[in-house]
């Protein structure tokens, strides 16, 4: 069974290795105490084992937590290293899908695409008032 991840959520990888015996309460405790985030906001949190062959994904679905687990029979999951000293790094849904599929993120090259930026009425009014 494949799980699809959508861009409407934020995805955070816990940067330290995690004991895969941890369950709902312990993982949500890590989110609250170490990541200083609220696990009930609907963000997705990714935890990887010390041997990098197991992954757990914690997600609040409005009426309860769900944990997705995967254990590799061979190979490892890629660990994303952040240059800052934080405990977490934010990734996209696509990056999570690549990690789960065993694709090296460094080998992916994204082609340039047009990206529309929304301009709010407030931004236009403040720019006009600055020009006056």
pTM confidence score: 0.78
Q: Residues 46-99: pLDDT tens digits?
A: 999 999 999 999 999 989 999 999 999 999 998 777 767 688 999 999 899 988
Per-residue pLDDT, 121: 59
E strand or H helix at 93, and its extent?
helix 93-101
State the pLDDT confidence band at 5, using cuts at 50, 70 and 90.
confident
Residue 127: which pLDDT band, with cuts at 50, 70 and 90? low
Q: Residues 99-127: what's their mean pLDDT?
A: 73
């Amino acid at each position: 069974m494949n799980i699809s991840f959508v861009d409407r959520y934020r995805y955070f990888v816990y940067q330290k290795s995690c004991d895969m015996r941890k369950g709902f309460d312990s993982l949500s405790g890590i989110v609250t105490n170490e990541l200083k985030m609220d696990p009930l906001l609907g963000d997705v949190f990714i935890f990887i084992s010390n041997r990098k062959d197991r992954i757990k994904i914690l997600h609040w679905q409005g009426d309860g937590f769900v944990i997705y687990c995967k254990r590799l029979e061979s190979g490892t999951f890629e660990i994303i290293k952040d240059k800052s000293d934080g405990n977490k790094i934010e990734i996209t849904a696509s990056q999570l899908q690549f990690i789960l599929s065993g694709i090296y993120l460094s080998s992916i090259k994204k082609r340039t695409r047009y990206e529309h930026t929304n301009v709010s009425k407030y931004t236009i009014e403040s720019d006009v008032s600055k020009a006056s």
